[in-house]
A and B are shown apart, each in its own frame.
Chain A
Amino acid sequence: MSWFHAAKQRLADLFARERADRELAEEIAHHLELETARHVRDGLDPAAARAMAHVRFGNQTMITDAARAERGHRLAEGSVQDLSWAARSLRKSPGFTALSLLTLVLGIGACTVAFSVFNTVLLRPLPFRDADRLVFIREKTAKGELRPPSFPNLVSWREQTKSFAGVAAAQFPYPRTVSAAGDAEPVRLPSLEVTRHFFSTLGVAPVIGREFSDAEHAPGPGRVAIVSYEFWRDRMNARQPLGLIRLGDVPTPVVGVLPPGFKFLQPADIYLPHEGQAGTVRSSHNYLVVAHLQSGATLAGARAEMSALSRSLKTVYGTETEAVDADVRPLLDHMVASYRVLLSVIFAAASLVLLIACTNLVSAQLARGWHREREVVVRAALGASRGRIARQLVIESTLLVALGTALALLVAFGASSAIRVIGGTLVPRLSELSLDARVVFFSVGVALVTALVVGVYPALRLARRDAGLVLRSGRSGASVRSSVWRGLVGFEVALAVMLVIGSALLIRTLRNIVSADTGFDSRGVVTAAITPQESDAAKFDDVVNALRSIPSVEGVAFTSNLPLQWGNWSGPVRRPSDPKDRNWPAMAGFRVVSPEYFTVLRQPLLRGRAFTVADRVGAPGVAIITPGIAEKLWPGQDPVGKTIATNYLFNDWLTVVGVVAEASNWSMPHGTQNEIYVPLAQREKSVGQQLIALLRTEGSPEPVMVAARRRLHEILPHSPAQIGTIDERIAKSAADRRFAMIALTAFGVIAIVLAAVGIYGVMWYIVSTRTHEIGIRMALGATAARVRRDVLTSATTMAATGVVVGMAAGAYSTKYLQSSLYGVSRLDARVYVLGTALTLGVAVLAAYLPAWRSSRVDPMEAIRDT
Chain B
Amino acid sequence: MDRSGDLLPGTFEMLVLKAVSLGDMHGWGIAERIERLSGGVCGVQQGTVYPVLQRLLRRGWVVADWRVSDNQRRARYYRLTAAGRRQLADEISWWRRTIGGVDRVLGAEPREA
A→B interface (CB under 8 Å):
1-6, 9-10, 13, 23-24, 26-28, 30-31, 33-35, 37-38, 56-60, 63-64, 66-72
Q: Does B7 contact A (CB under 8 A)?
A: no
Look across to chain B and name the residue whose beta carbon is closest to the beta carbon of A69. B51
Bound Cα distance A2, B63 (Å) = 11
Q: Are B81 and A58 in contact (CB under 8 A)?
A: no
Contacts of B46 in A (CB 8 A): 31, 35, 56-58
- Contact (Cβ within 8 A) B48 A2: no
Interface flags for B59-100 (1: CB within 8 Å of A; 0: not) read: 111010000010101111000010100000000000000000
Interface centre among A24, A27, A38 (most CB of B within 10 A): A27
Please state if A63 and B47 are interface contacts (CB–CB under 8 Å): yes
On chain B, the residues within 8 Å of A37 by CB distance are: 71
Smallest beta-carbon distance A44→chain B, Å: 16
Q: Chain B interface secondary structure, helix, strand, loop or mixed?
A: helix
Q: What are 16 A-B pairs with beta-carbon distances under 8 A?
A: A2-B59, A4-B60, A5-B59, A5-B81, A5-B83, A9-B60, A24-B50, A27-B26, A27-B50, A28-B50, A31-B47, A37-B71, A56-B46, A58-B47, A67-B53, A67-B54
As a 0/1 sequence over residues 24 to 40 of chain B, the CB contacts with chain A under 8 angstroms (1 = contact) are 00111101100000000
For the complex, give the distance between the alpha carbons of A287 and B69 in Å: 91
Contact among A13, A24, A35, A63 with B48 in the assembled complex (CB-CB below 8 Å): A63
Q: Is there a chain A Cβ closer than 8 Å to B3's Cβ?
A: no
Are B60 and A6 in contact, with the CB atoms below 8 A?
yes
The answer to whether B50 touches A6 (Cβ under 8 A) is: no
Measured CB to CB, the closest approach of chain B to A53, in angstroms, equals 9
- Distance in angstroms between the alpha carbons of A28 and B28 in the assembled complex: 8
Inter-subunit contact A28/B47 (CB<8 Å): yes
Contacts of B76 in A (CB 8 A): 23, 26-27, 30
Q: What 12 new A-B contacts, CB under 8 Å, besides A27-B26, A72-B58? A: A3-B60, A4-B60, A5-B60, A9-B57, A26-B74, A28-B47, A28-B50, A57-B45, A60-B47, A63-B45, A70-B54, A71-B54
Contact B26 A70 (CB under 8 A): no
Choose one: B48, B53, B71; the contact of A58 (CB below 8 Å).
B48
Contacts of A58 in B (CB 8 A): 45-48
A18→B103 CA distance, assembly (Å): 47
Q: Are A5 and B47 in contact (CB under 8 A)?
A: no
**B51 touches which of A4, A56, A67 (Cβ 8 Å):** A67
* Residues in B neighbouring A9, C-beta threshold 8 A: 57-58, 60
Nearest-CB residue, chain B, relative to A65: B51
In contact, B28 and A34 (Cβ under 8 angstroms): yes
Name A63's contact: one of B32, B51, B74, B75 (CB within 8 Å).
B51
Q: Within 8 Å of chain A (Cβ to Cβ): is B44?
A: yes
Residue in A34, A35, A64 whose Cβ sees the most chain B Cβ within 10 Å: A34
Nearest first, the 7 A-B pairs at minimum CB distance are A5-B60, A58-B45, A70-B54, A63-B47, A2-B60, A66-B51, A58-B47
Residues of chain B lying within 8 A (CB to CB) of residue A1 = 60, 83
For residue B54, give the distance in angstroms from its CB to the closest CB of chain A. Answer: 4
Q: A27-B26, A30-B75, A31-B27 are in contact. Are A2 and B50 (CB under 8 A)?
A: no
Neighbouring B residues of A30 by C-beta, 8 Å: 26-28, 69, 73-76
Contact partner of B58 (CB less than 8 A), chosen from A6, A23, A24, A26, is A6
Q: Tell whether, in the assembled complex, residue B44 and residue A56 are in contact, meaning their CB atoms are under 8 Å apart.
A: yes
Q: Mark B1-30, 1 if CB is under 8 A from A, else 0.
A: 000000000000000000000000011110
On whether the beta carbons of B58 and A70 are closer than 8 Å, the reply is: yes
Residue of A nearest to B44 (CB): A56
B48 contacts which chain A residues (CB < 8 A)?
58, 63
List chain A residues, Cβ under 8 A from B63: 5
B80 CB to nearest chain A CB (Å): 12
Chain B minimum-CB-distance residue to A73: B58
**Which of B's residues lie within 8 Å of A, judged by CB?**
26-29, 31-32, 44-48, 50-55, 57-61, 63, 69, 71, 73-76, 81, 83
In the bound complex, residues from chain A placing their C-beta under 8 Å from that of B81 are 2, 5
Q: Which residues of B contact A6 (CB under 8 A)?
A: 58-60
Q: Which residue of B lies closest to A10 (CB)?
A: B58
- In the assembled complex, how far is the CB of residue B10 from the closest CB belonging to chain A, in whole angstroms? 14
Residues of A within 8 A of B74 (CB): 26, 30
Question: Contact at A2–B83, with CB atoms within 8 Å?
Answer: yes
A273 to chain B, nearest CB (A): 77
Shortest distance between the CB of A52 and any CB in chain B (Å): 11
* Residues of the B chain whose Cβ atoms lie less than 8 Å from the Cβ of A59: 47
A160: min CB distance to chain B, Å: 77
Decide: A2 near B61, CB < 8 A? Known: A27-B26, A34-B71, A71-B54: yes
A residues near B83, Cβ cutoff 8 Å? 1-2, 5
Q: How far is the CB of B82 from chain A (nearest CB, A)?
A: 8
In the complex, chain B residues whose CB is within 8 Å of the CB of A71: 54, 57-58
Which of A10, A38, A57, A69 is in CB contact (< 8 Å) with B47?
A57
CA distance A109 to B74 in the complex (A): 53
Cα distance, A771 to B76, chains bound together (Å): 58
Quote the shortest CB–CB distance from A629 to chain B (angstroms).
93
Question: Shortest Cβ distance from A442 into chain B, in angstroms?
Answer: 40
A31-B28 CB under 8 A given contacts A1-B83, A6-B59, A70-B51: yes
User: CA A10 – CA B57 in complex, angstroms?
Assistant: 10
* C-alpha gap A100/B46 in the complex (Å): 49
Q: A304 vs B61: C-alpha distance in the bound complex, in angstroms?
A: 75
Which B residue sits closest to A20, measured CB to CB? B54
Give the complex CA separation of A395 and B26 in angstroms.
38
Q: Give every chain B residue within 8 A of A24 (Cβ-Cβ).
A: 50
Q: How far apart are A62's CB and chain B's nearest CB, in angstroms? A: 8
CA–CA, A28 to B71, complex, Å?
15
Q: Compute how far the CA of A56 lies from the CA of B45 in the bound complex, rounded to whole angstroms.
A: 5
Query: Out of B29, B32, B50, B60, which one reaches A67, CB within 8 Å?
Result: B50
- In the bound complex, how far is the Cα of B63 from the Cα of A130, in angstroms? 60
Output the nearest chain A residue to B70 by Cβ-Cβ distance.
A34
CB distance from A29 to the nearest CB of B (A): 10
**CB-nearest residue of chain B to A62:** B47
Cα-based distance from A69 to B53 in the complex (angstroms): 12
CB closest chain-A residue, reference B55 = A70
Q: Provide the bound-state CA to CA distance between A57 and B49, in Å.
A: 10
Question: Does B28 contact A35, Cβ atoms closer than 8 Å?
Answer: yes
Bound-state CA distance A4–B58 (Å) is 10
Contacts of A31 in B (CB 8 A): 26-28, 31, 46-47
- B45 / chain A contacts, CB cutoff of 8 Å: 56-58, 63
How far apart sit A34 and B75, CA to CA, in the bound complex (Å)?
A: 11
**A33 to B44 Cα, complex, angstroms:** 17
> How far is A67 from B48 in the complex, measured between Cα atoms in Å?
9
Nearest residue, chain B, Cβ from A29: B73
Chain B positions within 8 Å of A23 at CB level:
76
Residues of B within 8 A of A64 (CB): 50
Q: Chain A contacts of B61 at CB under 8 A?
A: 2
Considering residues A2, A24, A31, which has the most beta carbons from chain B within 10 angstroms of its beta carbon? A31
B4 to chain A, nearest CB (A): 12
Complex alpha-carbon distance, A3 and B31, angstroms: 27
Closest to A60 in B: B47
Greatest chain A CB density within 10 A among B32, B46, B47, B61 is at: B47
Least CB distance from B6 to A in Å reads 14
Residue in B closest to A35 when the chains form the complex, CB atoms: B28
B44: chain A residues at CB < 8 Å are 56
Residues of B within 8 A of A33 (CB): 73
Residues of A within 8 A of B26 (CB): 27, 30-31
In Å, the complex CA distance between A37 and B53 comes to: 23
Residues of chain B lying within 8 A (CB to CB) of residue A63: 45, 47-48, 50-51
* Minimum Cβ distance to chain A for residue B55 (Å): 4
Q: Report the Cα distance A570→B12, complex, angstroms.
A: 100
In the bound complex, CA of A195 to CA of B95 (Å): 94
Most buried by A among B46, B59, B71: B46
